[in-house]
Copies of this chain bind each other. A is one copy, B any other.
Amino acid sequence: MPERTGEHTITLSGRPRVLGYASAVGKKEGEGPLGGGFDIVFDDARLGEKTWEKAESRLQKEALNRALDKAGYSPSQVQVLFTGDLLNQNIASTFGMRETNIPLLNQFGACSTMAQTLCLASLFVDSGAADVAAAVTSSHFCTAERQFRFPLEYGGQRTPTAQWTVTGAGSVLVGMGGNGVRIAAVCIGRIVDMGIQDMNNMGAAMAPAAADTLLRFLKDTGTQPDDYDFIATGDLGSEGSALFKMMMAQEGQKIGDNHFDCGLLIYDMETQDVHAGGSGCGCSASVLCSHILGGMEQGRWKNGLFMATGAMMSPTSSQQGESIPGIAHLIHLQCD
């Protein structure tokens, strides 16, 4: 049963479990430092589909199907699906999940969506609203570039603070059985907007939201950053990670070596030319569904925080002079 803890945290007293998880990524991600840990690596950015958008849908489908296979479940056993992506009107999710026949609630939290979908899937299971729920999110470099920035053919130069949208998807199946990683608590983010207007510096726009959510969670639970084996941020990148640590330090909470950022892990920062790191719904999703959950299963970590961050602007809002609102949702993961 979900229980309010402090002002903002929701403790899941039944501590639902990860029944299965899987990641599907593109070639560049497969060549990165985490490459060996992904379930599926595609060599072709189109995955054999006619368009990049259909390829992104396919990434979601592959990630969900593999997670179901690994858990030994069929789609008909999943009672609700929480999905999300960066595309207008969430089409990667809608078209990717169209044939599953599973009741569906599309989510939009920009790059924080993996945490948002996992939060809702876990709450549904803990409350009895579903026996089995799934969370699936994706992003694709080519669909994101043409929608948010420039046509790829234009060959635009990237600024040093720009991030590289991950081509990838992750899927987590949540239920009460088995012996998988547990979801112990969630803390839902609120919008934090410090006035950053540079669409090529998302890390700076999201860092204050990450600090806001983590500070609220630590206060609610009476814990400190070094009580956790890891604190994983989604895709703050190099700029955002430095700002996040600085803002936490200003509040008297030192973030130590137990912090890592999914966007800084997924690519080789020296050789893969991704500037400030990886980003996108598929960044934290594919790292959660390989490195993080895999590491917990293998006993590397027992108690950690997964906090995906999102920049909630659109090209229209930026053209209209709006700043970039950030958000961060936190999931507390535990082994038995």
Alpha-carbon distance A259/B327, docked complex (angstroms): 40
Q: Which residues of B contact A107 (CB under 8 A)?
A: 105-108
Q: Please classify the interface of chain A as helix (H, G, I), strand (E, B), loop, or mixed, using the class held by over half of its residues.
A: mixed
- The answer to whether A104 and B191 touch (CB under 8 A), given A94-B312, A320-B53, is yes
Q: Smallest distance from the beta carbon of A202 to chain B beta carbons, Å?
A: 13
Looking at A3-11, A59-67, A243-251, A300-308, the stretch in contact with chain B turns out to be A3-11
Cα distance A94–B320 in the bound complex, in angstroms: 15
Contacts of A191 in B (CB 8 A): 94, 97-98, 104
CA distance A100 to B193 in the complex (A): 12
Copies of chain A in the complex: 2
Q: Among A20-28, A126-134, A158-166, A167-175, which stretch is in contact with chain B?
A: A126-134
Residue among B108, B126, B315 making CB contact with A106, cutoff 8 Å: B108
Q: In the complex the two chains form, is B95's CB within 8 Å of A189's CB? A: no
Cβ of A188 and Cβ of B312 under 8 Å apart? no
Interface residues of A (CB under 8 A from B): 1-4, 8, 10, 50-51, 53-54, 79-80, 86-91, 94-95, 97-98, 100-110, 116, 119-120, 123-124, 126-131, 147, 188-191, 193, 312-317, 320, 322, 325, 327
Told that A101-B190, A104-B190 touch, could you supply 20 new A-B pairs with CB distance under 8 A? Answer: A1-B128, A2-B124, A2-B127, A3-B128, A4-B79, A54-B320, A80-B188, A87-B316, A89-B313, A94-B191, A98-B193, A100-B190, A103-B189, A104-B191, A105-B109, A106-B108, A106-B312, A107-B108, A123-B129, A126-B127
Contact of A4 with B312 at beta-carbon distance under 8 Å, contacts A91-B317, A105-B109, A189-B103 already known = no
| B-chain residues with CB within 8 Å of residue A89 when the two chains form the complex | 86, 88, 108, 110, 312-314, 317
Q: Quick one: given A128-B3, A128-B127, A322-B95, are A90 and B108 in contact (CB under 8 Å)? A: yes
**A89-B88, A109-B105 known; A2-B325 Cβ under 8 A:** no
A129 touches B2 (CB 8 A): yes
Q: How far is the CA of A309 from the CA of B119 in the complex (A)?
A: 25
Contacts of A109 in B (CB 8 A): 105-106
